[in-house]
Structure 1
Amino acid sequence: MTDKNGMTDRRTVLAGGAALAGGAALAGQAGAQDDAEAARKAIAESYLKALDAGGTSPTTGLGLFDHFTDDAEVYFPKWGVARGKDQVVQMFSDVGGTLKGITHHYDGFTWYMTGTDSFAVEGTSEGSHRDGTWTAGDPDWGAGRFCDCFTVRDGKIARLFIYLDPDYAGQDTDRYGWIET
């Protein structure tokens, strides 16, 4: 707002300055939030890379179980919920004992970052199971698509719920009339 002499009103200048300062503060908060989300995402990627590498992440050097809190909860279909690191180790030993190898397709991941400790990632994988091999999309109804829901606190996974078809080799087809093999 200007007065009759064309000078800017002092209140307008102060209000504009306050808006700029508020915007800068929000930008700083957004930057910090982006950094925190990137750190949480990096932990999740390191965990997945440890799975692919058979136990140790090639990007961070962390062992698979170093990614988890002592009181972590991990869900895997047909296994249930593992509570605490001892059960998490047992669950991964049971499930991992059926796998000969797995590779996640990182370039195709879709991340759902929420601005909180909890987030999700959708993706695809391929690999070899004791019953046979799988590649996401071949066939389209088969194994290889997953959604992992994470909660990361203090740089470790506190909660991981894994959603996928555990019939990696696609042998459980008779019970589903819509599957044509």
Structure 2
Amino acid sequence: MALTRQTMTDEQRKSVAVEYLKAFDNAGVTSGGGSILELFATDAQVYFPKWGLASGRDEIGRLFGDVGATLKSIHHHFAHFNWIFSGGDLLVCEGTSHGEHRDGPWRAGVPAWGAGHWCDVFEIRDWQIQRCFIYLDPDYAGQDTGRYPWLADKPNQR
């Protein structure tokens, strides 16, 4: 097996990340009809809060299956993304979303402290995601309030 490294521009890396996020909005199917897993290197890693680190496509598939089974729908707000480029293989996307979790709906900003704000750190090389660390509140429906005293006096406002 030959080691290949294709030089990619920031915009090309961004296009891979956008394809990944759009596939989530489309139940894990890419714009070309393939699986979201095809966007990952075979030895890629994905981190998701409260799930942990998944290594390799099989584990990543389990992670996405576990999380996806709790979601009825998700919609990313592409027009409002903030992108940070490293000049290398790393890029960061900060954004918002809305959708429906099995425990109820969510929308970024409703309430202000709720789910829907997220940040993903990608490492993309050779047209594949090598690493994606997802940072968000996995309590999509905003039900985990009892452990946070600062939320006790705030209405859910859904």
Structure-1-length-normalised TM-score: 0.79
**Distance of 1:112 and 1:61 partners within structure 2:** 28
Please state how far the C-alpha of 1:63 moved relative to its aligned partner. Answer: 2.2
Residue 28 of structure 2: aligned partner: 55
Superposed, 1:102-117 pairs within 5 Å as 102-117=74-89
Do 1:50 and 1:62's aligned partners in 2 also have CA atoms closer than 8 Å?
no
Residue 167 of structure 1: aligned partner: 139
Amino acid aligned to 2:28 = G
Amino acid aligned to 1:36 = T
CA-atom RMSD, angstroms?
A: 1.2
Structure having the higher strand fraction is 2
Residue 153 of structure 1: aligned partner: 125
User: Please, which of 27, 33, 43 is the counterpart of residue 16 of structure 2?
Assistant: 43
**Distance of 1:138 and 1:39 partners within structure 2:** 33
**Distance of 2:139 and 2:35 partners within structure 1:** 26
Please state how far the C-alpha of 1:62 moved relative to its aligned partner. Answer: 3.9
Secondary structure at the counterpart of residue 169 of structure 1: coil
Answer 1 or 2: higher relative contact order, Cα 8 Å, separation at least 6.
Answer: 2
**Distance of 1:149 and 1:62 partners within structure 2:** 23
Structure having the higher helix fraction is 1
Amino acid aligned to 2:9 = A
Residue 44 of structure 2: aligned partner: 72
**Distance of 2:34 and 2:86 partners within structure 1:** 25
**Distance of 1:66 and 1:84 partners within structure 2:** 11
| Structure 2: unaligned runs, 5 residues or longer | 1-6
Secondary structure at the counterpart of residue 166 of structure 1: coil
Structure-2-length-normalised TM-score: 0.90
Please state how far the C-alpha of 1:154 moved relative to its aligned partner. Answer: 0.3
**Distance of 1:120 and 1:71 partners within structure 2:** 20
Residue 97 of structure 2: aligned partner: 125
Moved over 2 A (4+): 60-63
The percent identity for this pair of structures is 52
Please state how far the C-alpha of 1:153 moved relative to its aligned partner. Answer: 1.1
